[in-house]
A and B are shown apart, each in its own frame.
Chain A
Amino acid sequence: MKVLWPNDLSKCSEGAIPYVRSFAKHYDAEVHVLYVMHDLSKHGSWYGEFDRKTIEKLQRWEEKKAREKQEQLCKKYFEDCKKFEKHIRIGDPATEILKFIEAQQIDAVVMCRKGEAGMFKMGSVAERVVRNAPVPVVTVPSKNGAGEQ
């Protein structure tokens, strides 16, 4: 069994970790940790034209930071899991998560209901994944979620 934990490396998304761990333990599942970076090169030149090199530099910096953070999280929470893999993708988060589910033949997705930028009760990425995923999706309410007040 393969369990996917898509996250934006925020505190909110860490709320799903206990559920991912229990999935891994109970079903002896492989854990796939996925972080999707925004593709900065696709952004319009709202504030004037950016130098291509600057964008690439920013992207590399983000990737490096994301790898470090993923490494920390996996070491802290998934060290005792049978198998875990870390993945980083670039693009639209929901689209990339859905593509990843198909490509890796994921069996279940566990994700937090809203991400870091969550000023709404449900994040747009979680919503699009729930609507379109071909596998069961467990959405975990964030600690400060409306449902827990």
Chain B
Amino acid sequence: MYKKILFPTCLTEFCGHVFDFALRTAMEEKAKLWIFYGLGRVAFPEDELLKEIKKAEKRVVEEYGERMKAKGFRDYVINVTDGDVVSEIVKLARNAAIDVIIMGTGTKPPIVTGETARVAPLGQTTAQVLLWSPCPILVVPPSLVPGLAR
């Protein structure tokens, strides 16, 4: 169904839960997983920027590498760039002909207080990517996160 999945992350705890969902989907679908981390708009000199990108790549590997290795998943690409995060996600989705982007509703851990409680509004990045994405987006709600299940 999906052959190329893009998972943009900001390496927060909630993103980790969404990553598990993305990884499971990628394994079920036998799809290639793009993990994207955006540095945002930074004004570093080129050599320093390269260092920052390397550092960020290392952080992504530290965060998700082990989990993928444990499940024997190897078909992934880590993409770290600077620049406006939303534009970079949309650009990557278009250039790599991504089939689906998997994102959480936001990055802050949501607070759920009861059955009918609704969670905080969509995060800025998700809301903007929803508007501009050239491909379908699968938004994972906080209620799918272990401990917050319905």
Q: Do A137 and B132 touch (CB < 8 A)?
A: no
Q: Is A57 an interface residue (CB 8 A)?
A: no
A contact residues around B119 at 8 Å (CB): 132
Cβ of A49 under 8 Å from chain B: no
Q: How far is the CA of A136 from the CA of B119 in the complex (A)?
A: 14
Interface: A78 (CB within 8 A): no
Interface size grouping (class) on chain A: 20 to 34
Contact with A along B112-150 (1 / 0, CB 8 A): 000000110110000000111111111111011000001
Q: Are B138 and A137 in contact (CB under 8 A)?
A: yes
CB <8 Å contact, A135 and B144: yes
Q: How far is the CA of A135 from the CA of B149 in the complex (A)?
A: 10
Residues of A within 8 A of B6 (CB): none
Judging by beta carbons under 8 Å apart, are A26 and B1 in contact? yes
Is A138 touching B136 in the complex (CB atoms < 8 A)?
yes
Q: Is the CB of B141 within 8 A of A134?
A: yes
Q: Which A55-104 residues have a C-beta within 8 angstroms of B?
A: none
Bound: A5/B122 CA distance, A: 22
Residues of A within 8 A of B (CB): 19, 22-23, 25-26, 110, 113, 121-122, 127, 130-141, 146-148
